[in-house]
Chain A
Amino acid sequence: KQEVTQIPAALSVPEGENLVLNCSFTDSAIYNLQWFRQDPGKGLTSLLLIQSSQREQTSGRLNASLDKSSGRSTLYIAASQPGDSATYLCAVRHGRGNNRLAFGKGNQVVVIP
């Protein structure tokens, strides 16, 4: 069974600092990995999708890396802003079984002005 872990559960950083969020998964047989943002009481917004054959994806201030063999992904957010305050969820798409998304519980981020 695929297990996805995100540590720490919550963190605070001063505005302007770079954010580094970590995700680990137990089964390397994945199709892809997605990073999502979730604001309180809202749905999920997809930030980046990394296919299993890729090592990283970039969008603006966001960069996500994937090391499939070691079961890790990292989301970098450069020069954090108060508007980046949210919960960030990592999810992997199984390469076995019914291809369901397995989610971590998220990193709750607060950027302090």
Chain B
Amino acid sequence: DAMVIQNPRYQVTQFGKPVTLSCSQTLNHNVMYWYQQKSSQAPKLLFHYYDKDFNNEADTPDNFQSRRPNTSFCFLDIRSPGLGDAAMYLCATSRETGAYEQYFGPGTRLTVT
């Protein structure tokens, strides 16, 4: 059974049109992460939630926002997508920070036209 679910798997949006990507988990983990991965590059952490506590990475553009309404769900909002935001967006969870394993979802591939 899928433990970290991302919807949609493929998303096409227009330049400047807001888009929301969804992640849900059945693991009841405290921590949820959003990564951006561009072609042939390493995944880059955008931000993470520890429970309701939001932690933004210093170099994450203001264009990227996130919401976590409850333990199971976390959303990535891109307010005004640019062509450079086309990428694979990966959601991950872990029980706690520190030495706990991260579990990844299948990703959402975002195309900006």
Q: What residues make up the interface of A, taking CB atoms closer than 8 Å to B? A: 4, 31-32, 34, 36, 41-46, 49, 51-52, 89, 93, 98-101, 103-106
Contacts and interface: CB of A to CB of B under 8 A. Distances in A.
Interface stretch (B12-20, B64-72, B73-81, B93-101): B93-101
A43 B97 contact: no
B113 interface: no
Given A44-B43, A89-B42, A106-B42, A101 B102 contact: yes
Contact of A104 (B42, B104, B109): B42
Contacts, number: 55
B90 A105 contact: no
B55 interface: yes
A41 B86 CA distance: 13
A43 B45 contact: no
A64 to B, nearest CB: 13
A4 B92 CA distance: 20
Contacts of B106: 42-43
B86 to A, nearest CB: 13
> Which residue, of A4, A45, A101, has the highest number of chain B Cβ atoms within 10 A?
A101
> Which residue, of B43, B97, B107, has the highest number of chain A Cβ atoms within 10 A?
B43
Nearest to A44: B104
Contact of A43 (B41, B48, B101, B105): B105
Contacts of A99: 97-98
Contact of A100 (B6, B45, B107): B45
A87 to B, nearest CB: 9
A2 B103 CA distance: 21
B104 A43 contact: yes
21 contacts: A4-B42, A36-B104, A42-B106, A42-B107, A43-B88, A43-B104, A43-B106, A44-B107, A45-B104, A46-B102, A46-B104, A51-B99, A98-B48, A98-B55, A98-B97, A99-B98, A100-B57, A101-B43, A101-B45, A101-B102, A105-B40
